[in-house]
A = this chain, B = another copy of it.
Amino acid sequence: MKKTVFLIAAILVMSFSLGVAQQNVAEKLGYPAHTKLLIVHADDIGLAQSVNDATLTAFEKGGITSGSIMVPCPWFADFAEHYKDHPDLDVGIHLTLTAEWDVYKWGGVLPATEIPSLLDENGNFYASVEEVGQHADPLEVEKEVRAQIDKAIAYGITPTHIDTHMGSVMAKPELIEIYLKLGLEYKTPVFVPRMILLGMPEEAREQLKRDYVLVDNFFMMNTEDPGLSWAEAYGQMIEKIKPGLNVMIVHVAHDNAEMQAITANHPAFGAAWRARDLEYVLSQDFRNILEKQNIQLVTWKQIKEVM
Interface residues of A in 125-171 (CB under 8 A from B): 151, 154-155
Show 19 residue pairs from A and B whose CB-CB distance is below 8 angstroms, ordered by the A residue: A48-B258, A50-B257, A74-B105, A77-B103, A77-B105, A78-B104, A78-B261, A109-B123, A110-B112, A111-B112, A111-B113, A111-B114, A113-B113, A113-B114, A122-B151, A122-B154, A256-B257, A257-B258, A258-B258
A262 and B112 alpha carbons, distance in the complex (Å): 26
**A-B pairs, 4 with minimum CB distance:** A111-B111, A74-B74, A78-B103, A111-B112
Chain B residues in 8 Å Cβ range of A104: 74-75, 77-78
Contacts of A102 in B (CB 8 A): 81
Partner of A261, one of B53, B103, B154, B257: B53
- Pick from A103, A105, A151 the residue with the most CB of B within 10 Å: A103
Answer yes or no: A254 CB below 8 A from chain B CBs.
Answer: yes
A110–B49 Cα distance when bound, in Å, is 25
Is A218 interfacial (CB-CB < 8 Å)? no
Measured between beta carbons, the chain B residues less than 8 angstroms from A53 are: 257, 261
Known A49-B261, A75-B104, A78-B104; further 9 A-B contacts with Cβ < 8 A: A49-B257, A50-B257, A52-B261, A77-B105, A77-B122, A110-B112, A111-B113, A113-B113, A122-B155
